[in-house]
């Protein structure tokens, strides 16, 4: 009788190991084509949509947060905090894939597609395949913002900013004006290490027309176009 009990224990343990192995197999392989564990931490392109305009931006590094906020750094070191409601990060094999996707989003209207890197005289590097996610992101300094309203992009200088769990964001402009709005309408910018004209050309890539890029004149408390 003791042998029978021992055999039962062995069978129970064997069954438990089989079940555990099966569960591990399901978790690792996923269900159908769903990947349970996300191992893709390499994105090299940002596609941004705004009022029918589609912009293509090369990405050298990115960070993501709770909610819809995501930060990316361009190939020429412009740092942008934006929302995934307007910005999609892509991993593409070549620049043509990014262009094809942008065309699909624009309804095949190539005139509405703007390439930030071409404006800046840089190129999108799709050869890198290593992780470019900044896991320990300590970059929270933004001294400018682009506020989107319709097809206009208003560039403002900011003193302070704070955000909230529900995607609201508050800005204090350089003249003391405080604005409470949604991250969907704002892009926070740090251009300290970026190339010349990076801020202007990034704003232009979002709206497609220089007349729609507005600079807020804090000294005179009015907006002016440059």
Mean pLDDT of the 177-192 span? 95
pLDDT for residue 4: 53
pLDDT for residue 134: 64
pLDDT for residue 71: 93
**200 three-state secondary structure:** helix
pLDDT for residue 12: 64
Mean pLDDT of the 212-225 span? 75
The pairing of strands 152-163 and 144-149 is antiparallel
- In tens, the pLDDT along 15-72 reads 655 555 555 555 555 567 676 666 667 899 999 999 999 999 999 999 888 788 999 9
HEC sequence for 165-189: CCCEEEEEECCCCEEEEEHHHEEEE
Give every CB contact of residue 25 below 8 A, 6+ residues apart in sequence. Answer: none
Question: Residue 133: is it exposed, middle or buried by C-beta count within 10 angstroms (0-12/13-18/19+)?
Answer: middle
Question: How sure is the predictor about 139, in pLDDT bands with cuts at 50, 70 and 90?
Answer: confident
- In tens, the pLDDT along 58-68 reads 999 998 887 88
Question: Residue 195: is it exposed, middle or buried by C-beta count within 10 angstroms (0-12/13-18/19+)?
Answer: middle
> What is the chain's Cα-based Rg?
24
Residue, of 168 and 137, whose pLDDT is higher: 168
- HSE, CB side, 13 Å, CA atoms: give it for residue 114: 22
Residue 108, Cβ neighbours under 10 Å: how many?
A: 9
- In tens, the pLDDT along 79-109 reads 999 999 999 999 999 999 999 999 999 999 9
- HSE, CB side, 13 Å, CA atoms: give it for residue 54: 19
Mean pLDDT of the chain: 85
Q: Which residue bears the tokens 């978790």?
A: 27
pLDDT for residue 110: 95
The pTM of the full predicted model, rounded to 2 decimals, is 0.81
pLDDT for residue 205: 97
Mean pLDDT of the 161-173 span? 91
Q: Among 6-15, 41-50, 134-143, 209-218, whose mean pLDDT is lowest?
A: 6-15
């Amino acid at each position: 009788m003791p042998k029978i009990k021992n055999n039962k224990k062995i069978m129970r343990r064997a069954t438990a190991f089989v079940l555990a192995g099966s569960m591990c197999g399901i978790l690792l392989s996923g269900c159908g084509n769903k990947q349970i564990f996300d191992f893709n931490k390499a994105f090299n392109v940002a596609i941004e949509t705004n009022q029918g305009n589609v912009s293509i931006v090369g990405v050298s590094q990115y960070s993501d947060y709770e909610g819809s906020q995501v930060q990316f750094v361009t190939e020429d070191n412009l740092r942008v905090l934006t929302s995934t409601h307007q910005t999609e990060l892509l991993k593409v094999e070549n620049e043509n894939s990014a262009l094809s996707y942008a065309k699909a989003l624009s309804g095949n209207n190539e005139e509405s597609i703007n390439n930030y890197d071409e404006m800046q005289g840089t190129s999108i590097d799709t050869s890198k395949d290593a992780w470019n996610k900044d896991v320990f992101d300590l970059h929270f300094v933004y001294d400018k913002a682009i506020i989107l309203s319709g097809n206009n992009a208003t560039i403002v200088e900011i003193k302070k900013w704070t955000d909230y769990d529900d995607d609201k964001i508050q800005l204090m402009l350089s003249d003391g004006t405080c604005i409470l709005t949604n991250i969907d309408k704002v892009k926070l910018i740090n251009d300290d290490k970026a190339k010349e004209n990076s801020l202007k050309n990034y704003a232009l890539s979002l709206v497609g027309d220089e007349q729609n890029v507005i600079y807020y004149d804090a000294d005179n408390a009015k907006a002016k176009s440059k």
